[in-house]
Amino acid sequence: METMAARPVPDHVPPHMIGAFNLFDAPGMTPTPHGDPQAAAAVVHDGPPIFYSPGNTRDGRGTWVITRAKDQRRVLQDPETFSSHRAIFASALGEDWPMIPLELDPPEHGKFRSLLNPLLSPKRVMALETAVRERAVFLIDRIAAAGTSCDVMTDFAFPFAVNIFLRFLGLSDDRLDEFVGWANDLLHGDNRQRPAAARTIIAFIDDLAAQRRKAPVDDFMSFLVQSKVDDRLLNDMEIRGTGVLLFVAGLDTVAAAIGFDLNYLARHPQDQELLRREPSRIVLAAEEMLRAYPTVQMIRVATKDIDFEGAPIRKGDYVSCATMIANRDPEEFPEPNRIDLGREDNRHTAFAYGPHRCLGSHLARREIVVGLEEWLKRIPTFRIKEGTAPITYGGHVFGIENLILDWS
Ligand code: HEM
């Protein structure tokens, strides 16, 4: 994974507050065989509640890093001071439009959020459940029929997540492989592939919007082009910003969660057998794995100067709330580095807090639980294939690749 060189630390940051750690190239964060980047991130709990981390974004910016879960909640619940307005996707193309609703602040944010909420409500997710299960069964049966080993990410996790997403958009999966390729290039490509993938995705979204405007059907894009905020139809940039966000939000995150879960179970045969024997435990176990192996680092931008737990945050500074750090906070979770699949009262932050709390969390949870249920039903005791090693990495969204499981 490519990152740019770290930019100089601003003068207002006291030298004693600079930490050596970041989520891109600190130990455990670069692509590492058999790594555990979430456990590697937990080392920050040996240090102060806030520090400045140079080079903590893909484009080499420094950020303040908030380590305690309760302080992260303060940041995430105060969008007036800590704004989400960044245009990360567009800036990779030298443009400046927000992904919606992710990069809007209240009150604008709320208008779009209430428009989109019903589309991913628990009820809507229930209606998708049969399709989700059928897809999991189809992919896993195919894997089981093909032999006693597979690459979980390419054979299951990605095609599964992309298929559900296409279904949600109301599209057939003729172009599934193409979509998986775009998502991969966008999230993990080099400095040439990423903007190219971004342009392809934008062209796809714009084209789909144009088609549905001409001839609406019963699908997400038709809904979007007919929707109104403030008594007017959404404009082209708003439709693009929303379409692009849904494209990027639901693919990699769900696939990575399934990958980290199966990676954990492959190495912990007792936990694997427990869930196989008592599948009713999977719902709770999936929450614990979301706590221990979350994947998203959130970034906010300070809108004014503020003193935060002794740190002089200045207007324009980036502030990082990494879910993998909050979820290993010993003040919040007893023995945070122990994975306890029966852990209750699991107030983890894998799906964030505050106004931007993940819109797709109900769908994501269903996909993960159904994926694990069907996997454990159909694949006998599995382990990491001898002579292979999954590659894990940190970043804005943590990931895992080359997860080759074996059940021979
Ligand atoms: C395990 C899977 C997932 C994880 C860990 C995850 C995590 C997150 C997190 C941490 C945020 C907050 C980001 C921020 O505030 O900067 C977020 C927002 C969002 N997620 Fe997810 N997500 C997942 C799956 C999905 C899926 C499947 C969808 C859609 C189908 C989705 C749609 C969204 C949207 C639209 C937002 C923006 C919400 C807003 O700004 O109000 N996510 N997600």
pLDDT tier for residue 2 given thresholds of 50, 70 and 90:
low
Higher local confidence (pLDDT), 91 or 219: 219
The residue contributing the CA closest to ligand 1 atom 42 is 360
Please tell me what DSSP assigns to residue 62: -
Assigned domain for 279 exists:
yes
Higher local confidence (pLDDT), 59 or 385: 385
Ligand 1 pocket test: pick from 63, 109, 253 the residue with the most ligand atoms within 8 Å of its Cβ: 253
Q: For the segment 188-226, what is each residue's pLDDT rounded down to a tens digit?
A: 788 889 899 989 999 999 999 999 999 999 889 999 999
Instruction: Answer for the pair 389, 395: CB distance below 8 angstroms, yes or no.
Output: no
pLDDT at 202: 92
CA dist 313 and 307 (Å) reads: 6
Q: For the segment 220-238, what is each residue's pLDDT rounded down to a tens digit?
A: 999 999 999 999 999 999 9
Beta bridge partners of 50: 66
Q: Does the Cβ of 311 fall within 6 Å of ligand 1?
A: no
Assigned domain for 406 exists:
no
Assigned domain for 5 exists:
no
Q: Does the Cβ of 245 fall within 6 Å of ligand 1?
A: yes
Residue 68: what are its φ and ψ, rounded to 5°? -85, 140
Please tell me what DSSP assigns to residue 154: I
Handedness of CA 111, 363, 186, 222 (dihedral sign): negative
Going through 38-193 in order, the beta strands assigned E by DSSP cover 50-53, 63-66, 82-83, 149-151
Q: Is 124's pLDDT higher than 60?
A: yes
Q: First CA to last CA across the chain, in angstroms?
A: 33
What is the mean pLDDT of the segment spanning 1-11? Answer: 79
C-alpha closest to that of 351 among 9, 73, 109:
73
C-alpha closest to that of 131 among 170, 184, 158, 157:
170
Q: Does the Cβ of 79 fall within 6 Å of ligand 1?
A: no
Instruction: Answer for the pair 89, 244: CB distance below 8 angstroms, yes or no.
Output: yes
CA dist 54 and 34 (Å) reads: 26
Assigned domain for 8 exists:
no
Assigned domain for 213 exists:
yes
Assigned domain for 4 exists:
no
Counting from 1 in the atom list of ligand 1, the atom nearest the Cα of 100 is: 40
The residue contributing the CA closest to ligand 1 atom 18 is 358
Q: Is 161's pLDDT higher than 80?
A: yes
When computed from its CA atoms, the radius of gyration of the chain, rounded to whole angstroms, is: 21
Q: Determine the distance separating the centroid of ligand 1 and the alpha carbon of 253, expressed in angstroms.
A: 8
Assigned domain for 3 exists:
no
Range of the domain at 204: 15-400
Domain count, the chain: 1
CA dist 317 and 7 (Å) reads: 13
CATH number, domain containing residue 372? 1.10.630.10
| Choice among 90-104, 148-162, 266-280 with the minimum mean pLDDT | 90-104
Assigned domain for 7 exists:
no
Assess whether the previous peptide bond of 279 is cis (omega < 30° from 0). no
Residue-averaged pLDDT of the chain: 94
Write the Ramachandran bin of 309: left for phi over 0, alpha for psi from -120 to 50, otherwise beta: left
Q: In terms of DSSP H, where are the helices of 278-355? A: 282-292, 323-326
pLDDT at 168: 83
pLDDT at 162: 86
Q: For the segment 345-381, what is each residue's pLDDT rounded down to a tens digit?
A: 899 999 999 999 999 999 999 999 999 999 999 999 9
CA dist 115 and 230 (Å) reads: 11
Beta bridge partners of 312: 307
CA dist 5 and 330 (Å) reads: 33
Q: Determine the distance separating the centroid of ligand 1 and the alpha carbon of 308, expressed in angstroms.
A: 26
Q: Does the Cβ of 257 fall within 6 Å of ligand 1?
A: yes
